[in-house]
A and B are shown apart, each in its own frame.
Chain A
Amino acid sequence: MNAIALRVENLSKIYKIGQTVGYNTIRESLTNVMTAPFRSLRQMGDRRRKGEATSPRSSVSSPPNTIWALKDVSFEVKHGEAVGIIGRNGSGKSTLLKVLSRITAPTEGRVEIRGRVGSLLEVGTGFHPELTGRENIYLNGAVLGMSRAEVKRKFDEIVAFAEIEKFLDTPVKRYSSGMYVRLAFSVAAHLEPKILLVDEVLAVGDVQFQKKCLGKMSNVASEGRTVLFVSHNMAAVRELCPRAILLSDGRTLNDAPSPNVISEYLSAQSDVSSGDMAVSDPLLRRNSLPNSRFRWTRVTIKNSEGRVTGLLKFGEPFEIVLQGVADSELTEVRAGFSIDSVLGVAIFNSFQIDNGIPARMPAGQIRFCVRMDPNFLAPGLYKISLGANGDGIIDFLPTTLQFTVSTAGEEDKNPWRNYHGGVMRYPCRWYIE
Chain B
Amino acid sequence: MSVSEDKADQMAIPAAPVTVIRPPRGWIPINLRELWAYRELLYFFTWRDIKVRYTQTVFGIAWAVIQPLFMMIIFSLFFGTLAKVPSENIPYPLFSYAGVLPWTLFAAGLTRSSDSLVQDVNLVQKVYFPRMLLPLAGILSPLVDFAIAFVILIGMMLYFGYYPGVTMFWILAFLVLELMLAAGLGLWLSAINVAYRDVRYAIPVLIQLGLYASPVVYSATFVPARFQTVYGLVNPMAGILEGFRWAVLGTKPPSDLLFASVAIILVILISGAFYFRRREKAFADVA
Which A residues lie at the B interface, using CB under 8 A?
Answer: 1, 3, 15, 21-23, 26, 40, 43, 79, 98-117, 119, 121-122, 125-126, 128, 130-131, 135, 138-139, 142-145, 147-148, 171, 194, 224
Name 29 interchain pairs, CB-CB below 8 A, sorted by A. A1-B1, A22-B194, A23-B195, A23-B286, A79-B9, A79-B13, A100-B21, A101-B128, A103-B126, A103-B127, A103-B128, A103-B284, A105-B21, A109-B22, A111-B20, A112-B18, A112-B21, A113-B18, A114-B17, A114-B18, A116-B17, A119-B128, A122-B126, A128-B48, A128-B52, A130-B52, A135-B51, A139-B44, A148-B40
A130/B23 contact (C-beta < 8 A), A1-B6, A3-B13, A116-B17 known: no
A-B contact count (CB 8 A): 123
Closest 5 CB pairs of A and B: A22-B195, A105-B281, A111-B21, A142-B44, A115-B16
Query: Contact: B284 with A99, CB < 8 Å?
Result: no
Query: Contact: A194 with B16, CB < 8 Å?
Result: yes
When each residue 88-107 of chain B gets 1 if its CB lies under 8 Å from chain A and 0 otherwise, what string results? 00000000000000000000
Contacting residues of chain B (223-276) with chain A, CB-CB under 8 angstroms: none
Q: Which residues of B contact A98 (CB under 8 A)?
A: 284
B48's contact among A23, A119, A131, A145, by CB below 8 Å, is which? Answer: A131
Q: How many chain B residues touch A (Cβ–Cβ < 8 Å)?
A: 42
B16's contact among A104, A108, A116, by CB below 8 Å, is which? Answer: A116
Which B residues lie at the A interface, using CB under 8 A?
Answer: 1, 6, 9-10, 13, 16-26, 40-41, 44, 47-48, 51-52, 55-56, 122-129, 194-196, 279, 281-282, 284-286
Query: Contact: A110 with B22, CB < 8 Å?
Result: yes
A43/B195 contact (C-beta < 8 A), A15-B285, A114-B13, A122-B126 known: no
A121/B6 contact (C-beta < 8 A), A23-B282, A23-B286, A138-B44 known: no
Query: Closest CB of chain A to B268's CB: distance in Å?
Result: 17
Query: Contact: B13 with A106, CB < 8 Å?
Result: no
Query: Contact: A26 with B196, CB < 8 Å?
Result: yes
A15 to B16, CA, bound (A): 32
A113 to B20, CA, bound (A): 6
Most buried by A among B9, B19, B47, B284: B19
A20 closest partner in B (C-beta):
B286
A111 to B44, CA, bound (A): 30
Q: Which residues of B contact A130 (CB under 8 A)?
A: 51-52, 55-56
User: Contacts A103-B126, A142-B44, A224-B9 given; 13 further ones with Cβ under 8 A?
Assistant: A22-B194, A105-B281, A106-B21, A107-B23, A112-B19, A112-B20, A113-B19, A114-B16, A114-B18, A139-B47, A142-B40, A143-B123, A144-B127
Q: Which residues of B contact A122 (CB under 8 A)?
A: 122, 126
Query: Closest CB of chain B to A129's CB: distance in Å?
Result: 9
A110's contact among B20, B125, B285, by CB below 8 Å, is which? Answer: B20
Q: Which residues of B contact A116 (CB under 8 A)?
A: 16-17
Query: Closest CB of chain A to B199's CB: distance in Å?
Result: 11
Q: Which residues of A contact B122 (CB under 8 A)?
A: 122, 125-126
Q: Which residues of A contact B6 (CB under 8 A)?
A: 1
A131/B51 contact (C-beta < 8 A), A103-B284, A143-B123 known: yes
A135 to B20, CA, bound (A): 33
Query: Contact: B21 with A102, CB < 8 Å?
Result: yes
Q: Which residues of A contact B1 (CB under 8 A)?
A: 1, 224
A108 to B25, CA, bound (A): 11
A68 to B27, CA, bound (A): 24
A15 closest partner in B (C-beta):
B285
